[in-house]
Amino acid sequence: MDNFTKKWQDFHEGKLSKKEVIEFLNFLESDLGKSCYQKLLKATWAEEEEIKSVKKTQFSKAPSSKSHIDLPSTNDKDFFNRFYPSKIAAFKSIFKYAACLMALLMVFKTIDFWPDRLMQESKVEQEIVWLSKSNPQGIKSKILLPDSSWVYLNSGSEIKYPENFAINRQVILKGEAFFEVFSDKDHPFTVEASHIKTQVLGTSFNVNSLFPESVEIGLATGSLRILNGSSGEELILSPGEASNIPTGKEEMIKYNIDPKKIAPWKEGVLHFNDESFERVVKKLENWYGVEITIEGDIPKDKCNGDFQKNTYLTNVLKVLGHALNFNFDINKNQVTINTMNMNE
């Protein structure tokens, strides 16, 4: 038995290590490998034809009146083994792989991804090489991931993902992002933000960790599983549901939300929903890329409202200042809000 035939048998009997499998599959892709494969296939067919010829000679004199042919006796088998000892042994050792050989012919055009995938999967077990995309304050972007998923990355945010993302679909998020996940049942898509991990197969959802006090998650389509790393609790979201998960707390509560309002920021809409003045200031800094200083007391009223795409910061501050009774001054990227005379 030559080295190629022995390697082929070891491959199908699972005797090769992962490294040897990769090397063998790579060899099969080479011109020499394909030549060895063709020779083995031809040898298998030749052995089969010889045995058929022998059987035909032995049974050609069988009575025609019988409706079936009796199996050869023990003496007949001995006759075969005496006449063709090497041929029979060689054929028996190869024949059980004939079906595999034929199957391999059918998938040879698609075999290109086997070695690469095995090598990629082995890399997962080794040190992960991370890639990153980030936006400064005032800048938003749309990112296409290697698996064909889309990420709408908000300003002042960053994502990290593995170099071999196609088979290891995990994302680490700092800030806020909306995900449109390409469906792949074999490779779940996970997003880690602070102490919260979400896992999906194919869906669209928003994760907001811009504020240290909580992580907010809203689901637009599909289904979503949330894991609280602090408590180990899990929560399943359906479309039109969201959850605000406070940092350091175990409880996770979900509530209903209009899917159109899950991520208005990705359409350029600056949205305030019953938010404290501190969060409003943080959003404005992140949205416009400015630094805001407050002189005086912080307004206690909650803020609600939408500002459409490309609304100037000056106009936003005028509306808020009228509602909350404060003045402001803008000097390049420095903004001062004065609330000291707000009650006068």
Cα–Cα distance measured from residue 308 to residue 139, given in angstroms and rounded to the nearest whole number = 16
Cβ burial of 11 (10 Å; 0-12, 13-18, 19+) is: middle
Sign of the four-CA dihedral 259, 264, 266, 272 = negative
State the Cα–Cα distance between residues 17 and 258, nearest whole angstrom.
53
Which residue bears the tokens 């960053």? 158
Start-to-end CA span in the chain (Å)? 100
Q: How many other CB atoms are found less than 10 A from the CB of residue 332? A: 7
CA dihedral 5, 7, 12, 16 (to 10 degrees): 170
CA atoms within a 13 Å half-sphere pointing along the CA-CB vector of 71: 3
Q: Domains along the chain?
A: 3-123 (no CATH), 135-261 (2.60.120.1440), 268-338 (3.55.50.30)
Helix or strand holding residue 176 (H, E)? strand 176-180
DSSP state of 279: H
Q: Which tokens hold the place of 332? A: 């390049």
- pLDDT digit of tens for each residue in the chain (344 aa)? 677 788 777 776 777 776 677 777 777 777 777 777 777 777 776 766 666 565 555 555 545 444 444 444 444 444 444 444 444 444 444 444 544 544 444 444 444 444 555 555 554 445 789 999 999 999 999 999 999 999 999 999 999 999 999 889 999 999 999 999 998 888 899 999 988 999 987 789 999 999 888 899 999 999 899 998 877 889 999 999 999 888 877 778 899 998 888 999 999 999 998 899 999 999 999 999 999 999 999 988 999 999 999 999 999 999 999 999 999 999 999 999 998 765 54
Q: Which of helix, strand or coil describes residue 103? A: helix
